[in-house]
Amino acid sequence: MSGADSLRREELEGSLYAVRERIAAAARAHGRGDEDIDLIVVTKFFPAEDLIALVSLGVTSIGESRDQEAAAKIEALRSSVGSEAMPLVHMVGQVQTKKARSVVRYADVVHSVDREKLIARLDRSALAAVEEGERSQALDVTIQVDLGNGQDEARGGVAPQGCEALAEQVAHSEGLRLRGLMAVAPDPAELDPRSAFERLAVLHQDVLAHHPDATWLSAGMSGDLEEAVAVGATHLRVGSAILGSRYSER
């Protein structure tokens, strides 16, 4: 390991520790244990070396948001750490329908499922991938809900009233497994994160009534993980608080 590599590893170790402390404190404040909260470290825009370092620091869930970047980095990670040490790979960003076939090759979970056509394509692709030995099992998915006023299309997500129909479609898809709901908090000028996540939690209860196995609630990022823990989030997707700011996104 070069000097720069070991410095970066120390930096990641420190920020990872700080985020785990934040999660533990938030869980305590709401009478929850932190063992049922899964930290997904979102590594988009950061190099494969960071993923390798994170795995060596005990990270068991990695999040990515763009297919092309993810496919290459996940392959590099696998050849470095080996199949047995691979973390779970979560696709958290918007997925173009035509990328479904690629995503099912390396993703364990897709969080951003928000339309019929994507569900149909992921289902077919996951079944084909199992058939061809590229996957061992069905693809775990969460339905992404838009908690804002529907104006931010880049954020993605189905309107709350469309959620149950998509959940039903996933439940009838042999290649997919419905795990729960996901959301990105809207712009705080639209709605504050705590109120947004409370809305999500209510919707989650409705979905659970029909789909009792859909227990996951994927909500909370670097800036609002406490608000998400407060409403019962089971999966936090944290990037910049651990890896630093994403210069290339600016």
* Listed ranges 50-58, 102-110, 125-133, 231-239: which one lies at the site for ligand PLP (CB under 6 A): 231-239
Q: With respect to ligand PLP, which residue has the nearer C-beta, 15 or 240?
A: 240
Report if residue 39 touches ligand PLP, rule: CB under 6 A: no
Q: With respect to ligand PLP, which residue has the nearer C-beta, 127 or 184?
A: 184
* Listed ranges 2-10, 75-83, 134-142, 234-242: which one lies at the site for ligand PLP (CB under 6 A): 234-242
Q: Which of 190, 185, 172, 191 is nearest to 233 (CA)?
A: 185
CA atoms of 111 and 240, how far apart (whole Å)? 19
Q: With respect to ligand PLP, which residue has the nearer C-beta, 94 or 173?
A: 94
* Listed ranges 8-16, 54-62, 206-214, 238-246: which one lies at the site for ligand PLP (CB under 6 A): 238-246
Instruction: Give the count of beta carbons closer than 10 Å to the beta carbon of residue 188.
Output: 13
Task: Please give the C-alpha separations between residue 115 and each of 138, 146, 172, 179, 182, in angstroms, as whole numbers.
Answer: 18, 12, 15, 16, 13
Report if residue 91 touches ligand PLP, rule: CB under 6 A: no
Q: How far is the CB of 63 from ligand PLP (least distance, A)?
A: 7
- What residue ranges in the chain does DSSP mark as E strands? 38-42, 61-64, 88-91, 109-113, 139-144, 176-182, 216-218, 235-238
Q: With respect to ligand PLP, which residue has the nearer C-beta, 46 or 106?
A: 46
Instruction: Give the per-residue contact string, 95-134, with ligand PLP (x = CB under 6 A; - = no).
Output: ----------------------------------------
* Listed ranges 28-36, 127-135, 168-176, 235-243: which one lies at the site for ligand PLP (CB under 6 A): 235-243
Q: Which of 202, 201, 241 is nearest to 221 (CA)?
A: 241
Residue of 184, 217, 229, 233 interacting with ligand PLP (CB under 6 A): 184
Q: How far is the CB of 220 from ligand PLP (least distance, A)?
A: 8
* Listed ranges 3-11, 17-25, 49-57, 236-244: which one lies at the site for ligand PLP (CB under 6 A): 236-244
Token pair recorded at residue 105 = 């090759």
Phi, psi angles (nearest 5°) of residue 62: -115, 140
Q: Which of 53, 95, 104 is nearest to 76 (CA)?
A: 53
Task: Please give the C-alpha separations between residue 191 and each of 92, 185, 221, 229, 233, in angstroms, as whole numbers.
Answer: 22, 8, 16, 18, 18
